[in-house]
A and B are shown apart, each in its own frame.
Chain A
Amino acid sequence: MSRETLIDLLYLFSATTFIVALKGLGSPKHARRGNMVAAFGMLVAVVATFFKYVDGHSLRHVWLILLAMFIGVIIAVPTARFVKMTAMPQLVAIFNGVGGGAASLVSMTEFIHIKSSHPATYVILEVLLGVLIGTVSFAGSAIAFAKLQELMTGRPVTYPGQQLINGVVGVAAVTLIVTILVTASTSLLWVLLVLSFVLGVIFVLPIGGADVPVLISLLNAFTGLAVAASGFTLGSNLLIVAGTLVGASGILLTRLMSKAMGRSLSNVLFSAFGSVVTASGATTRDDGRSVRSGTPEDIAILLGFSSRVVIIPGYGLAVAQGQHVLRELAELLESKGIEVFYAIHPVAGRMPGHMNVLLAEANVPYESLLEMDEANSELATADVALVVGANDTVNPAAIDDPGSPIYGMPIIHADLAENVVFLKRSMRPGFAGIENDLLYNPKTTLVFGDAKDTLTKMVAAVKAN
């Protein structure tokens, strides 16, 4: 067997491990092993690559490659090990961005490398797509990171003529691509690089904080596609398989997320949601309707007499760092024979599935985490729906108020439960800035204060009873 065939076989093995890893994610039981299998497959591919011939030579600059890898490892490992779980979206954004950046660099360098041999038009097209998509992903992820890390405002950034400017830049990029296809000019490639960067930035700026879960999924898909494009250019099936898998996953998650918000993808990307809403919401409803508030002790008694409690956590819980106390409360209730479930809305948190990770970190067993549909059927027979740090995801306006900006979003039907308890910091509306009628519902009790404090008091009170 020739050396090249052996290496290709090893690549085939790696590609298979990637598929196995994704299959493993079908259940929490096998997921970790799957991830390790993929990591091993990746290692095999990298080691095999060291033995590959490029243009008839063995790999040059091996020490330089090892040095670059060493630098990458000493930055990546501590970052990945010590990042807080609440900061996971930022981290995924940044790792995604560097992947896109690498794909873009690979495509570009390959173009410089092969240009002298007058490559076919489709090869140049692959390069240009790789550069365009990879760079947009890099720049977009950087802005998404800045928004999530609160280095800049999480609100949509808008300015007059925004749509027009974005459109012009987009058209300019396409024109440039066509020109480079015809002229095969390297200097124009640099212009495309800069233009793609600008496009990535202005594309993400108007997308508001609440829509970031959709955005991250989409950027993930972009990087996957950029890697697949590089795979076409380099003639590597491994890169094509891996890139396409990620592209498929990203696109699927993007669709799921927009569906979970009841909005179309183009609406999420191009409507600058948050800014419009804050202008229209919260003004009309201040008509002096009264709410009922209670103390943590009242709620503890209510919970003590229940037989079935559904907890609806939102990102506010994580902000207050209340997950551990919440789990303590849930376990305490369970020890009294009360059934406790967690109802997780798909967009709870800052990225798809984020709330599940935050609860898993607090040692909540995954059997207790219910998806939205399951949760809604449990809620019909629940005595108490305990809403902690969530707001928009339980807002009935999404069902019955066609004028509401969140109309059409599937929600968790907290209002089906016998009693609804909200733990809230204040009467301020949620992330999307929309008033919630459920707060004024006669079966609703509000407990004001920091979620962690309130939960701690509730734990003490339940213990005392």
Chain B
Amino acid sequence: MNVLLQYATVLILTAFVGTEIIAKVPSILHTPLMSGSNAIHGVILVGSMLILGGSTTNLQEVLGFLAVILATLNVVGGFVVTDRMLEMFKPRTPRVKETPTDEVTP
């Protein structure tokens, strides 16, 4: 199969899968969704490594080096901050119901 067609197939199918899954994310988690998906596009780190690792001229080395730094920032920062946020989302702690000592009725 033509490579372009194969990539396009992956793109289209992923777009549908992504839309289906993301539509189910509740709005209270939209900020972690954003920073988490941010971390996921940090996968450009893989591309940056290949660019730097395949570079043959100084120019390519400089650009590739920059790309690896930026992509690492993206991926590491993204995952760390998302984890920090998600850690804060806690369910109600089951508390022992306090006996209503102070009656509110006048």
Contacts and interface: CB of A to CB of B under 8 A. Distances in A.
Q: Is the interface of B mostly helix, strand, loop or mixed?
A: helix
A159 B44 CA distance: 36
B39 A239 contact: no
A353 B102 CA distance: 37
A245 B10 CA distance: 11
Given A26-B25, A68-B65, A79-B77, A368 B92 contact: yes
A110 B64 CA distance: 10
A246 interface: yes
Given A38-B36, A237-B7, A239-B43, A32 B83 contact: yes
Given A72-B76, A368-B92, A357 B31 contact: yes
Interface string A60-89: 111011001101110111011101010010
A232 to B, nearest CB: 5
Contact of A249 (B37, B45, B66, B69): B37
B46 A238 contact: yes
Contact of B38 (A71, A79, A95, A248): A95
B73 A72 contact: yes
Contacts of A26: 21, 24-26
Interface in A294-328: 304-305
Given A39-B39, A357-B85, A92 B14 contact: no
Interface string B21-32: 111111111111
A59 B102 CA distance: 72
Interface stretch (A144-152, A219-227, A282-290, A450-458): A219-227
Interface in A329-346: 335-337, 344, 346
Interface of A: 11, 14, 18-19, 21-23, 25-29, 31-32, 35-36, 38-39, 42, 45-46, 49-50, 52, 54-55, 57, 59-62, 64-65, 68-69, 71-73, 75-77, 79-81, 83, 85, 88, 91-92, 95-96, 98-99, 101-103, 105-106, 108-110, 112-113, 122, 216-217, 220, 223-224, 227-228, 230-232, 234-250, 252-253, 256, 304-305, 335-337, 344, 346, 351-354, 356-357, 360-361, 363, 365-369, 371, 465
22 contacts: A26-B26, A28-B26, A28-B29, A29-B91, A46-B46, A64-B61, A68-B68, A81-B80, A95-B78, A96-B38, A101-B67, A105-B64, A106-B44, A109-B55, A112-B63, A224-B41, A234-B47, A241-B10, A248-B19, A253-B30, A346-B27, A356-B31
